[in-house]
Amino acid sequence: MRTRWIGVGLVVSGLVVWGCGGGAALGEACDEEGAEGECEDGAVCGKPDDSSVLECLKTCIEQTDCPADQECNGISGSDIKACRPK
């Protein structure tokens, strides 16, 4: 019986990791500016402002991809754009 519960636990753990996408969420810290793989799908690692703090930002192609209080601007070290506060 114990072996069965261990197997179920491993399956559930695997599904949780698989479902998360493996990257940091929007607004969470990241380490390499311009790196997409560090953040969840649809996000890139970048600086939201002139500070040196890196976090996962929503990627964008044009201004309409961002909320009204943000601008779609390029991320250093990449050809990717992200939404940043105005």
13 part of a folded domain: no
12 part of a folded domain: no
40 part of a folded domain: yes
Placement of tokens 């311009």 in the chain: 34
Q: How many domains does the chain have?
A: 1
33 part of a folded domain: yes
On the question of pLDDT at 7 being above 70, the answer is no
Strands 43-46 and 81-85: unpaired
What's the rounded mean pLDDT across residues 39-58? 93
The answer to whether the Cα torsion of 21, 23, 25, 26 is positive or negative is negative
Q: How far is Cα of residue 83 from the mean position of the Cα atoms in its chain?
A: 12
34 part of a folded domain: yes
- Percentage of the chain beyond pLDDT 70 is 74
Q: Where in the sequence is the domain holding 78, given as residue range(s)?
A: 23-85
How many CA atoms are closer than 13 Å to the CA of 75, on its beta-carbon side? 26
What's the rounded mean pLDDT across residues 59-68? 97
Stronger pLDDT, 76 or 1, i.e. the higher one: 76
